[in-house]
Amino acid sequence: MPADRRRERQAGVRALLAAEGLEALLVTHLPNIRYLTGFTGSAGLLLLRADSAVLYTDFRYATQAPTEVGGSADIEIDSASVWDRLKRACAEQPRQTIGFEAHALTVRDAGRLKECAGRTAPVGELVETLRVVKAPEEIEAIAAAAALASEALAEVLPTIRAGQTELLVASRLEAALRRRGSEWHPFQTIVASGPRAALPHAHTSQRVIEAGEFLLLDFGAQVGGYCADLTRTVVVGGRADERQRAVYEAVRAAQARARQDIRAGMTGRAADALARDLLVARGFGEAFGHSLGHGLGLEVHEAPRLSATAEGQLPVGAVVTIEPGIYLPGWGGVRLEDDIALTADGPRGLSDGLTELVELV
């Protein structure tokens, strides 16, 4: 049975609040509410004070919320408006200044909060600061999601043929993910063929895959709320030509170097340079326009960042993606992505790391 860390997490947020000089925090970002209480619903407000935690939600979750939240927070159900219920609660302690998640609260809801509390203050990503360092069970959930994703890809790859559409391949991959237990898709699956593989965040389309083309597949899985994020690039219906091999091997070498040499304690900028310097040396620096990777957890994109501008240190316990790419407009592109946990003993691969060039002949 995984450890219940919700009280510990709430205590961590309270410590950060005290350092900000605030008495309370209104948590509105749903992944943060889940992290602190276990609640998975689509509507909720969590008011965290020094001596209490109260989740406000609506009638749809009258049964679900108590089951998920347990004793980690009190629950208030309002069939009309959670904001009205919050207003009544704030009126009980009118002198308190309530912090709010400035990155998550809309302007409209910030106005509602002002009506409720009167005294408010925007705060940074306090809960996200705690979420960067993963507990062992969080890392294992991400590893399980990555294993599930790899198994789904292994099922689908042998069925891919020239003449199929990107959408057909994506539908088969997503079905295989769900059959194996993925709770949902953490992001829209990307299947991009030929010149469309040069679009780092291509939308899967009706384009027909042609023989001899690169096919880029960027997909994920979700287990226990935690996300995996993988990318593989293959050649469909033929053997790779000389240029394809050169591009592919450059990306593979850059990814292998970063996966092997990344360490907790280095900056995100230094981690990014592990792959970027190699690609620059091979003449592909301008073709690698995005960052090396990002954090993984309850969200598919979270802290820390691995980029040329990220000066923050990578902590022990962070889980990150390693995903260099080369994108050549009008021709195609290659990206390879794996998920890595940063341990005190070095990097631990959570995904299979199988990046040898696959030719689906």
Q: What is the pLDDT of residue 204?
A: 98
The pLDDT tens digits of the residues spanning 91-141 come to 887 778 899 999 999 999 999 898 888 789 999 999 999 999 999 999 999
Instruction: Sort residue 163 into left (φ over 0), alpha (ψ -120 to 50) or beta.
Output: left
The length of the chain, given as a count of residues:
361
The pLDDT tens digits of the residues spanning 145-189 come to 999 999 999 999 999 999 999 999 999 999 999 999 999 999 999
Helix (H) or strand (E) holding 340: strand 338-343
- The residue with tokens 């959570």 is 350
Residue 24 to residues 20, 100, 113, 123, 310, Cα–Cα distance (Å): 10, 9, 13, 11, 30
Domains of the chain, each with CATH number or no CATH: 6-131 (3.40.350.10), 136-360 (3.90.230.10)
pLDDT over 90 (residue 90): no
Q: What is the pLDDT of residue 79?
A: 81
Other beta carbons within 10 angstroms of residue 92's beta carbon come to 7
What pTM was computed for the model? 0.96
Separation between Cα atoms, residue 50 and residue 97, nearest integer Å:
12
| 3 state SS of 76 | strand
| Residues paired with residue 100 on neighbouring β-strands, in sequence order | 26, 122
Q: What value does the mean pLDDT take over residues 255-261?
A: 98
Q: What is the pLDDT of residue 117?
A: 82
Among 112, 25, 108, smallest CA distance to 73 is for: 25
Among 321, 311, 322, 303, smallest CA distance to 270 is for: 311
Instruction: Sort residue 129 into left (φ over 0), alpha (ψ -120 to 50) or beta.
Output: alpha
Contacts of 299 (CB under 8 A, 6+ apart): 31, 186, 227
Separation between Cα atoms, residue 238 and residue 115, nearest integer Å:
64
| 3 state SS of 321 | strand
* Phi, psi angles (nearest 5°) of residue 99: -80, 150
Helix (H) or strand (E) holding 140: helix 136-156
Q: What is the pLDDT of residue 180?
A: 97
Q: What is the pLDDT of residue 179?
A: 97
Separation between Cα atoms, residue 74 and residue 41, nearest integer Å:
15
pLDDT over 90 (residue 85): no
Q: What value does the mean pLDDT take over residues 209-231?
A: 98
